[in-house]
Amino acid sequence: MKRVLIANRGAVASRIVRALDALGVESVAVHSDADAELPYVRQATRAVRIGGPSACESYLDQQAILRAAIDQDCDGIHPGYGFLSENAGFARGVEEAGLTFIGPSSRWIALLGDKIRAREYFRPLGMPMLASSDELHSLQDLEDAVARIGLPVLLKPSGGGGGIGMTPIHQADQMAAAWERSSSVSAKAFGASSLYAEQLAVQPRHIEFQFLADRHGAVCCLFERDCSVQRRHQKVIEEAPASGIPVQALSAITARLEGIMADIGYDVIGTVEMLYDPRHGFSFLEVNTRLQVEHAVTEEITGVDIVAAQIRLAYGARLDDVLGASPQRHGHAIEARLYAEDPVRFFPSCGVLEAYEFPDGDGIRVERAYGPGNRITPYYDPLLAKVIARAEDRAACIARLKQALAATRIQGVKTNIPFVLRVLDDPAFLGSAYSTDRH
């Protein structure tokens, strides 16, 4: 490793720069015209303008990013999360250019990026799953699938993510409208209208399992995270470990997943996302073949630098050398995603950050995307920062996060901090009696 290009922006770009610095590796930040003044651009060893303000003109321009990496004599590209991080064609292009793609091998991204193919692949390997259909091509296909699976079902794009295009169907007379909505949204968001139907779990928890793996056959699960607090299927609060789920159930599914991922020879980094409800237990959702936004909560309870580990593993390091002793976890960590958005209707809020101040203190970590005076534009996801609290137990962790958010000062745009504070005070959250269905 000598020099790595970061094909991303904001908070994750700053996080990757920090990991590369710790490894003694130079970093090259690419930026759009809209992001030229963001902190990550100054933090990197070098910076390169990649294009105009929109994502299509910049962070999604595969050829421009590859040219920049080659021109800057980089030997690797870290895609962060979002944008091109799960684009199999881009990963393959990086590999064919003789560079290291800092993520799983492109074949895993291609296979697991399609939810139908992923389910077909994992089902015979013993992955627990809810009943689902094959690919649906028409409303008649949907009706036939519902007759077999039973209601309620969730209609989902096979190539999607982030909850985009998912439509619950509770009654038969909802099928036609659901089909029109999901196929239209899927075509616009993912370039294809491929859909499938899955049995709808009632009041489930969203639990995910963090994996690191080397290219020599070794796999390690760094325990679980609870990501059940969501709005519009987007995660807002994540925590580790998961509370209110039987320890025996968590231990059993962790061992089962670790065995499956080792058997298939998965590599570098990935997260297996599951639903949990007492009736069905754990059931498979998808594998995210990238670094997760919420990786910090796992880092806080294990002491593992997941980003540095991802980089070293992509370059061929052995898992034992990266992790040392078998990772253990201690304490509790909770992350709140702070967005520039209206806290009631959740519409994005644009403007100049007149104030952007966060508290320091024991057990508080802040991953910043911006700095004072920076402009929040309409071109990208409105994530402002991530605030992570760590404490010895969950109650103390919640109290510490509330104190940190109360002391946070952001002016110039609206934020979702009032919403997050309401969640942290909600009796269902405090009692670990919540689910993705709670609004």
pLDDT digits (tens, 9 = 90+) for 8-34: 999 999 999 999 999 999 999 999 999
Average pLDDT value over all residues in the chain = 95
Of the listed ranges 127-131, 154-158, 300-304, 306-310, the one predicted with least confidence: 154-158
Residues with catalytic roles: 290
User: 156-169 pLDDT, tens per residue?
Assistant: 988 766 678 889 99
pLDDT at 158: 82
Contact at 8 Å (CB) between 266 and 220? no
User: 370-396 pLDDT, tens per residue?
Assistant: 999 999 999 999 999 999 999 999 999
Contact at 8 Å (CB) between 9 and 40? yes
The string of DSSP letters for 135-169 reads: -B-SHHHHHHHHHHH-SSEEEEETT--TTTT-EEE
pLDDT at 325: 85
Could you count the other beta carbons within 10 Å of the beta carbon of residue 404?
21
> Rounded to two decimals, what is the model's pTM?
0.92
CATH of region 3-102: 3.40.50.20
User: 100-141 pLDDT, tens per residue?
Assistant: 999 999 999 999 998 889 999 999 999 999 999 999 999 999
Q: Which CATH number fits domain 131-199: 3.40.50.2000, 3.30.1490.20, 3.40.1790.10, 1.10.3210.10?
A: 3.30.1490.20
pLDDT at 234: 87
> 9-19 b/e with 16+ CB inside 10 Å = b?
bbbbbbbbbbb
Q: Which CATH class is domain 205-431?
A: alpha beta
Kind plus residue range of the DSSP H or E element containing 270 = strand 268-277
pLDDT at 189: 77
Confidence grade of residue 231 (pLDDT, cut at 50, 70, 90) = confident
Closest CA to 165 of 128, 115, 129, 210: 115
pLDDT at 232: 79
CA distance 168 to 155: 6
Structural domain spans, the chain: 3-102, 131-199, 205-431
Structure-model confidence comparison of residues 116 and 192, the more confident one: 116
Mean pLDDT across 196-204: 89
Report the share of the chain in percent with pLDDT over 70. 98
